[in-house]
């Protein structure tokens, strides 16, 4: 029977900096300067320390829950830096595992702590000095890529030069909304970029149970999008590919899907114990690929880093995060009504009922501790 091939697919995997800290200098040309790498290494170190302290805050009852970003800093670091440099008034539409991309674009760190302390003011994003717009953290999985595509459509409609980037996990690509977003982005040719952090797990569900797809990124091929997979623990690859995606979006109005292959070294959130479902050998293998370790090895190999600088950044990270915690905890308690005002258009006389329901929650001792902080 005569047949002809009408479609063939190829997915490239991009790595510039390997796990031993060795850089492909040729591919890395015109990407990050030495100063950029030092800067990103320092920022990743500060974020890692914020993770440690946030974990302790939750354990001591001062925060509801917290999802550590540990191990996944490089992808959002490179991408976040590119977003701050290229494009015009870009939009960053996050989920919860790319804190560093937000900080690199000027979000005050205490906003993240306030969010996880359940304070609505953590979601009120001020106008940021770099000009990038940031939406509040999205906890519903996979819904916000649609918001980003809507924003990208508005940018196109208004003739503005800039992109809207949504960050989400591998699990989000099992949700219908993410596929609607990809379809619209490609059909409407809007400047949207999809940045998927594939960390191999959606809470306790392994990637192998989520999809039969060989890669996550090839899902974007079905929608006619430019698709590329990167080593998500490599700041050079992330910066380079995000820069190219921004160019493609602005010059050609075409969306890109980036899959950053990485691993979460911590639990899903503080409410989780990953030891119950993950093999320690798997975690150990990924610890060796830690983005902080490889970036430091690279800097050391170029004589740009030493033990003294390491001690300095560790001390600075402690000082910065201490200040962040002080500011997050030091602000006046939130107004009770904020919880509802930010959720409902109108309370329609149900305010008292909602108040009673919200404050009925007690801890194991039958106390109502957290709500007492709230002002009426």
Ligand X SMILES: Cc1ncc(C[n+]2csc(CCOP(=O)(O)OP(=O)(O)O)c2C)c(N)n1
Rounded Cα–Cα distance for residues 285 and 376 (Å) = 51
Binding status of residue 169 toward ligand X by CB under 6 A: yes
Given Mg ion, ligand X, none, residue 172, with its beta carbon under 5 to 8 Å by kind, binds: ligand X
Sign of CA dihedral 119, 71, 295, 105: negative
Q: Which is nearer to ligand X, 254 or 267 (CB)?
A: 267
> Taking the complex as a whole, how short is the minimal distance between the CB of residue 306 and ligand X, in angstroms?
34
CB of 367 to ligand X, least distance (A): 28
The 8-class DSSP code of residue 169 comes to E
Residues in 193-212 that interact with Mg ion by CB under 5 A: 199, 202
Binding partner selected for residue 47 from Mg ion, ligand X, none, CB under the kind-specific 5 to 8 Å limit: none
3-state secondary structure of 133: strand
Beta bridge partners, 231, equal 261
201 touches ligand X by CB under 6 A: yes
Residues 192, 148: contact at Cβ < 8 Å?
Answer: yes
Considering only 155, 179, 226, 268, the residue that binds ligand X (CB under 6 A) is 268
**Structural element, H or E, at residue 46:** helix 34-59
* CB of 72 closer than 8 Å to CB of 114: no
Binding status of residue 84 toward ligand X by CB under 6 A: no
Per-position x/- string for 50-79, each x denoting binding to ligand X as judged by CB under 6 A, each - no binding: ------------------------------
Give 174 or 199: the residue with its C-beta nearer to Mg ion.
Answer: 199
Question: Which residue(s) pair with 198 in the sheet?
Answer: 261
**Catalytic positions, please?**
264, 268, 277
Q: How far is the CB of 170 from Mg ion (least distance, A)?
A: 4
The binding track of 150-169 with respect to Mg ion, each residue x by CB under 5 A or -, is -------------------x
The DSSP secondary structure of 3-22, one letter per residue, reads ----------EE-SB-TTS-
**Alpha-carbon torsion (218, 219, 223, 226), positive or negative:** negative
Kindly list the residues in this chain that would bind ligand X in the complex (CB under 6 A): 97, 139-141, 168-172, 199, 201-203, 268
């Amino acid at each position: 029977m005569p047949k002809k091939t009408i479609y063939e697919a190829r997915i490239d995997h991009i790595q510039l900096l390997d796990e031993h800290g060795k850089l492909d200098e040729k591919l890395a040309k015109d990407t990050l300067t030495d100063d950029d790498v030092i800067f990103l290494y320092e920022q990743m170190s500060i974020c890692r320390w914020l993770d440690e302290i946030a974990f302790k805050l939750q354990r001591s009852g001062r925060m509801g829950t917290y999802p550590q970003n540990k191990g996944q800093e490089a992808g959002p670091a490179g991408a976040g830096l590119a977003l701050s440099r290229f494009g015009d008034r870009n939009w960053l539409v996050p989920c919860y595992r790319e804190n560093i991309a937000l900080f690199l674009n000027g979000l005050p760190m205490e906003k993240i702590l306030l969010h996880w302390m359940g304070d609505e003011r953590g979601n009120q994003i001020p106008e940021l000095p770099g000009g990038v717009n940031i939406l509040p953290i999205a906890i519903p999985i996979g819904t916000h890529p649609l918001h980003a595509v809507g924003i990208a459509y508005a940018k196109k409609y208004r003739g503005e030069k800039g992109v809207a980037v949504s960050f989400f996990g591998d699990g989000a690509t099992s949700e219908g909304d993410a596929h609607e977003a990809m379809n619209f982005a490609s059909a409407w040719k809007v400047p949207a970029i999809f940045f998927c952090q594939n960390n191999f797990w959606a809470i306790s569900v392994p990637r192998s149970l989520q999809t039969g797809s060989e890669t996550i990124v090839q899902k974007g091929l079905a929608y006619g999008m430019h698709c590329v997979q990167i080593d998500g623990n490599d700041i050079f690859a992330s910066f380079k590919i995000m820069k190219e995606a921004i160019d493609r979006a602005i010059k050609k109005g075409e969306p890109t899907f980036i899959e950053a292959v990485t691993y979460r070294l911590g639990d899903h959130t503080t409410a989780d114990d990953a030891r119950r479902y993950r093999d320690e050998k798997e975690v150990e293998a990924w610890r060796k690929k830690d983005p902080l370790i490889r970036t430091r090895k690279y800097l050391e190999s170029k004589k740009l880093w030493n033990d003294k600088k390491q001690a300095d950044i560790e001390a600075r990270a402690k000082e910065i995060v201490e200040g962040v915690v002080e500011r997050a905890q030091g602000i006046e308690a939130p107004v009770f009504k904020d919880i509802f005002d930010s959720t409902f258009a109108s309370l329609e006389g149900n305010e008292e009922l909602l108040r009673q329901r919200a404050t009925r929650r007690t801890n194991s001792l039958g106390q109502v501790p957290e709500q007492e902080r709230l002002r009426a």
